[in-house]
Amino acid sequence: AQRVTQPEKLLSVFKGAPVELKCNYSYSGSPELFWYVQYSRQRLQLLLRHISRESIKGFTADLNKGETSFHLKKPFAQEEDSAMYYCAFSNQAGTALIFGKGTTLSVSS
Amino acid sequence: DTGVSQDPRHKITKRGQNVTFRCDPISEHNRLYWYRQTLGQGPEFLTYFQNEAQLEKSRLLSDRFSAERPKGSFSTLEIQRTEQGDSAMYLCASSLAGGPYGYTFGSGTRLTVV
Identify the band that residue A92 occupies on the pLDDT scale cut at 50, 70 and 90.
low
Give the model's pLDDT for residue B46.
Answer: 96
Four-point Cα dihedral B36, A50, B26, B10, nearest 10? 30
The minimum CA-CA distance between A29 and chain B, rounded to whole Å, is 15
Instruction: Report the C-alpha gap between A14 and A22 in whole angstroms.
Output: 18
Check CB contact under 8 Å for B42 and A100.
Answer: yes
B17-59 pLDDT, tens digit each: 999 999 999 999 999 999 999 998 999 999 999 999 999 888 8
Instruction: Report the C-alpha gap between A18 and A92 in whole angstroms.
Output: 32
Which chain A residues are Cβ-neighbours of B97 within 8 angstroms? Answer: 94
Is the pLDDT at B1 greater than 60? The verdict is: no
Is the pLDDT at B100 greater than 90? The verdict is: no
